[in-house]
Structure 1
Amino acid sequence: MPKITGNSLDEHRELIRQSVFEALTALLEEKSFDAITMAQLAAKAGMGRTAIYHHFPDKEAVVVAFASHETDQYLDRLREVLATSDSPIDRLRIYVDYHLVAGEQFHMGLGMQFYGMLSEDSRMAIREHVLDVERVLRELLEAGMQSGDFVVDDLSATMSLIHACLSPRHLDPKVIEAFVLRALGVR
């Protein structure tokens, strides 16, 4: 019988998932997704070659679970920091700053090339979590529009443009923040 780590079965499962996620991250630094096998993931996670299948049916399931886990952590922390202000302008500043800083800490940017290797079902599962992040921005913008702080003609286009502005990692976050706020009519 396999040894249970942690104080409960749930804690054991979470520890296994975390070690598989860490193994995936490490292996992706070494090789492409299509070159990674479940056996390599298991070995890197310190578990038996067949044991990994008790937790994940295949490597796509690992990626979907990993992306979901990362997004959930990202959103929990984002909501925490957004709760520190009621001002739509301050909340958008927090959103922009948090996204730029957290983007360095979380592995959510799996990349279009990688994303394209996944099945339609896996892409849709990951997309659901992206929509959760987009909902936060939509709520921020709608609150700013309602208060008169933001001028937004096309909400969907504005959201896409804001997220596009959050991609360049080589720019000073304050420059990006100022640009986004000016684009929304904030002086």
Structure 2
Amino acid sequence: MPKIIGGSLEQHREQTRRRVFEALTALLAERSFDALTMADLAASAGIGRTAIYNHFADKDAVVVAFASEETDRYLERLADALEPATDAADALRIYVAAHLSSSEEFHFGFGPELYAMLSRESLAEIREHVVAVESVLRTILEDGRAAGLFTVEDVDSTMSLVHTTLQNRRVPPRAVQDFVLRALGAG
């Protein structure tokens, strides 16, 4: 009989998934996705080579599940942070600050190399998570434009530019925040 981790089957599943996700991020820091096997993930997570298939069908499924969990946690934290916002400009400040402060904890994308190796179906599932995060920024931008706080002609392009700006890790967070607000005419 397989060894159960935790006090219940639900805790076992949750802890096993967590260990596989930790193994995924650690192994991807060492090697490329195509060089990674399910057996590697299982060994690194400390679970049986065949037991991993009770939780994930393949490597793509691991990445999709990890992205889903990361996005859900991030959106929960973001919603809590945005709750006290007084207007769209304040919400944008909070959004930028939350994104920048969370960048060490959350994996906001594995990069084009990994995505190029995923199936079309897996990419579509991951895109759903990206859209969920984008919808928060879209709402902030549209609210700011409607209130006359932001000068935004093309919301989609603005969202892309804001998210691109948030990827730079070498610029102080306050400078990024000020830049984004000035770019939208709210500085």
Whether TM exceeds 0.5 here: the answer is yes
Distance 1:136 1:179 in 2: 19
Q: TM-score, normalised to structure 2's length?
A: 0.96
Shift of 1:108: 2.3
Aligned equivalent of 1:43: 43
Q: CA separation in 2, counterparts of 1:43 and 1:167?
A: 32
Q: 2:141 matched to which residue of 1?
A: 141
For normalisation by structure 1, the TM-score amounts to 0.96
**Percent of aligned positions that are identical:** 58
Other-structure match for 2:129: 129
CA-atom RMSD in angstroms: 1.1
Structure 2 CA distance for aligned equivalents of residues 108 and 186 of structure 1: 26
Task: Output the CA distance in 1 between the equivalents of 2:110 and 2:154.
Answer: 28
In the other structure, the counterpart of 1:157 is: 157
Contiguous gaps of at least 5 residues in structure 1: none
Structure 2: unaligned runs, 5 residues or longer: none
Between the aligned partners of 2:185 and 2:172, the Cα distance in structure 1 is 21
The amino acid across from 2:84 in the alignment is T
1:6 shift after superposition: 2.1
1:18 corresponds in structure 2 to: 18
Worse-matched range after superposition: 105-114 or 2-11? 2-11
Distance 1:144 1:90 in 2: 10
Cα distance in 2, alignment partners of residues 21 and 82 from structure 1? 28
Partner residue of 1:169?
A: 169
CA distance in 2, matches of 1:149, 1:51: 54
| Structure 1 range deviating more: 175-184 or 132-141 | 175-184
What is the match of residue 76 of structure 1?
Answer: 76
Deviation of the 1:43 alpha carbon = 0.7
Offset, 1:12: 1.3
- What SS does the corresponding residue of 2:171 show, helix, strand or coil? coil
The one-letter code matched in structure 2 to 1:115 is Y
For this pair of structures, how many residues does the alignment match? 187
